[in-house]
Structure 1
Amino acid sequence: MTGLLVVTAVPAEAEAVRAGLTDPTVTVRPVGVGPAVAGAATARLLALAEATGHPFRAVVSAGIGGGFAGRAPVGGTVLGTRSVAADLGAESPEGFIPIDELGMPPEWLGGGPSVDADPGLLADLRQALPAATVGAVLTVTTVTGTAASTLALADRHHDAVAEAMEGYGVAVAATQAGLPFVELRTVSNPIGPRDRDTWRMREAFAALTEAARALG
Structure 2
Amino acid sequence: MIRITVLLLFSLLTHTLSAQQKNGLKVINSLKVYKNTCARDPNQELIELRKMIPDLVLDIRYATANNFMKQVMYPQARAFARKPVAEQLKKVQAELRKKGYGLKIYDAYRPYAITVSFYKKAADKSFVANPAKGSKHNRGCAVDLTLIDFKTRKEVPMPTPYDSFAPEAAAAYRKLPPAVLRNRDFLIRTMQAHGFKVIKNEWWHYDFIGWQNYALMDIPFKSL
Answer whether TM exceeds 0.5 for this pair: no
Instruction: Return the TM-score normalized by structure 2.
Output: 0.28
Higher helix share: 2
Higher strand share: 1
Instruction: Return the TM-score normalized by structure 1.
Output: 0.28
| Larger Rg belongs to | 2
